């Protein structure tokens, strides 16, 4: 909640904390790992077509570090992520998530002004909550990248209850 409150302070458009931060917290919980492991990074997503500069992302990271120092913030504007993936321009943050490699990573959480939580999960939450990992439709087109990512991240070792599906 501290991280969500800090990001909400930035008033970013179409934002959420997502990806590995959410996936790892959920899988740690479902594996009974208490306290959860420290995050490798805190993936903050937002969507702003009007300013796609990496310098703006770095400024948001600095602002977050001032609010909660020492955390591994990683802020990325999803309006520019299509360039390095060589795919069409994304429509919003949820659309950008559909171009990630695995379903369990395409889930984000936003803290609304009234303190309710919104879940952004364009591919659903069933795989994450059911301890299943599979490639997204996009990930199937880049299967070698998906397989390499699963291996490099050591998910089978870290979360042995997870079932890996095609």
Please say whether the beta carbons of 107 and 3 come within 8 A: no
pLDDT tens digit sequence for 95-117: 999 999 999 999 999 999 999 99
Q: Write down the H helix ranges in 19-120.
A: 20-30, 54-67, 82-85, 93-97
Say what the pTM is. Answer: 0.93
Nearest to 122 by CA among 8, 3, 14: 14
Structural domain spans, the chain: 2-164
pLDDT tens digit sequence for 45-60: 999 999 999 999 999 9
Please say whether the beta carbons of 68 and 99 come within 8 A: no
Q: Which CATH superfamily is domain 2-164 in?
A: Beta Polymerase, domain 2 (3.30.460.10)
3-state secondary structure (DSSP) of residue 109: strand
């Amino acid at each position: 909640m501290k991280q969500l409150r800090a990001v909400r302070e930035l008033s970013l458009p179409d934002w959420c904390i997502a990806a590995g931060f959410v996936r790892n917290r959920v899988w740690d919980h479902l594996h009974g790992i208490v306290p959860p492991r420290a995050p490798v990074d805190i993936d903050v997503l937002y969507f702003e077509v009007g300013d796609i500069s990496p310098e703006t992302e770095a400024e948001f990271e600095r602002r977050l570090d001032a609010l909660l120092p020492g955390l591994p913030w990683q802020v990325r504007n999803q309006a520019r992520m299509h360039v390095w993936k060589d795919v069409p321009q994304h429509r919003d943050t949820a659309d950008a998530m559909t171009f990630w490699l695995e379903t369990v990573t395409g889930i984000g959480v936003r803290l609304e002004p009234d303190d309710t939580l919104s879940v952004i999960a364009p591919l659903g939450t069933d795989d994450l909550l059911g301890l299943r990992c599979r490639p997204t439709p996009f990930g199937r087109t880049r299967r070698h990248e998906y397989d390499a990512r699963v291996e490099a991240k050591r998910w089978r070792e870290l979360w042995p209850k997870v079932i890996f599906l095609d």
